[in-house]
A and B are shown apart, each in its own frame.
Chain A
């Protein structure tokens, strides 16, 4: 039973928390441990990052709670961090969510 739930969570189906905030119409940032704000194609602000797995000017791979967030582009940089929020800057070409495990 537990394995089934885990599979569902990492699969395309929604997790229980995601189902809950959808059901009760809670603001997403209250329930979710990850928020991503993108301004144009030059700046992104991410909450809930656990670790930086890869850091090059062309690719930054952020490890989130249960997935990886991959930024590809040019002159990528990480100019600031504070209050649990990391700021990425550069010229973004793509942003990819990749499930882990």
Chain B
């Protein structure tokens, strides 16, 4: 209750009137006679202090002045503060703009945070949401969230379930991705098929989900050899066909070769010919700057988006988009052996990451050779990987 009284006093303003203790009966009698309420009375050092609303204090002060009773008045609260800055129009305008922004911005989505994604990136999920009409700057309406969720689920081939929870201005999006059996086991799931070896290897272990294993552990297989058969025999001696599923892990030898020429062509960019700057505020775009120029035949366009964030908090829904169009010319260049070596190893790492993403590397042998014109990198890798791929029956 005391807190509410303090809040009321802060918002509506309050005042303390101090006078000699001998004037107490007069002051209280004035309050009673004129119906002016007060909230607190305190005595100290021969003085009486009463606290009352700003309006009541002004009326009481007028009465005390008329009767020439000495007193002091101390005013406080929001009205006093506002009166103090009444002539500072800039501050008043700034305060009004802030209040307006807080009011209006509270109705829009400021940020979207995605969780539950494993193969999809947050940007991809946001793109799916954007296709359904939901993104930064979207006006918050609880009724629409279900429609947006349904729209995303119908249109997306990768999202199985989605939930959008609004907490203030932030949309927390939880998703569950579809488990792609095709990607998991390889090949089209429809139709009868066998599983064959994608390359030579020595089989380490076999996981058969559907079908009959045609090989054993420790067996050496050649590329294209049958691993899991989609033909199985029933207890009555009849045969039936199905879509074989499973994984066959084998030790394989992989060879990668990277060639980096020492002489190459590179593009040299000129100064920007056309520049365009746009402010993106929520989902609205405001063009702030644009210059034009004559573009040649060889041009490249560079787009950049700079977001703002304060004190390490999530990005504000304001960003500046810069679009620069530059001309380029192709010139001959020579890279050093060191540069070629670094580039070759970088390319090899990229190849391994792409080609052997789900394989376990057991041994790696690298040999390099520097010729007059190029840097050669040869890599032999022994790895454990799934070599079974689906092969429709009749295509062997």
Contact = CB atoms under 8 A, between A and B. Distances in A.
Contact of B32 (A50, A54, A57): A50
Interface string B21-39: 0001100110111011111
Contacts of A52: 24-25, 28-29, 32
Contacts of B29: 51-52
Contacts of B32: 49-52, 81, 86
A48 B43 CA distance: 25
B40 A81 contact: no
B11 interface: no
How many of chain A's residues touch chain B, expressed as a range?
Answer: 10 to 19
Contacts of B36: 81
Interface string A48-91: 01111111010000000000000000000111111110100000
A79 B39 CA distance: 7
Interface in B21-66: 24-25, 28-29, 31-33, 35-41, 43
Contacts of B28: 52, 55, 78, 81, 86
Contacts of A51: 25, 29, 32-33
Interface string A23-56: 0000000000000000000000000011111110
With most chain B CB atoms within 10 A of its CB, the pick from A49, A52, A83, A86 is A52
B255 to A, nearest CB: 94
A84 B39 contact: no
Contacts of B31: 81
Contact of A55 (B24, B33, B37, B40): B24
B25 A82 contact: no
Contact of A80 (B24, B33, B35, B39): B39
B25 A55 contact: yes
Nearest to B29: A51
Interface in B270-306: none
Contacts of B39: 80, 82
Given A52-B32, A78-B41, 16 more contacts: A50-B32, A50-B33, A51-B32, A53-B25, A54-B25, A55-B28, A57-B43, A77-B41, A80-B37, A80-B39, A80-B40, A81-B31, A81-B32, A81-B37, A82-B37, A82-B39
22 contacts: A49-B32, A50-B32, A51-B32, A52-B24, A52-B28, A52-B29, A55-B25, A55-B28, A77-B41, A78-B24, A79-B40, A79-B41, A80-B37, A80-B39, A81-B32, A81-B36, A81-B37, A82-B37, A82-B38, A83-B37, A84-B35, A86-B32
**What are the nearest 5 A-B pairs in CB distance?**
A82-B37, A55-B25, A52-B25, A55-B24, A51-B29
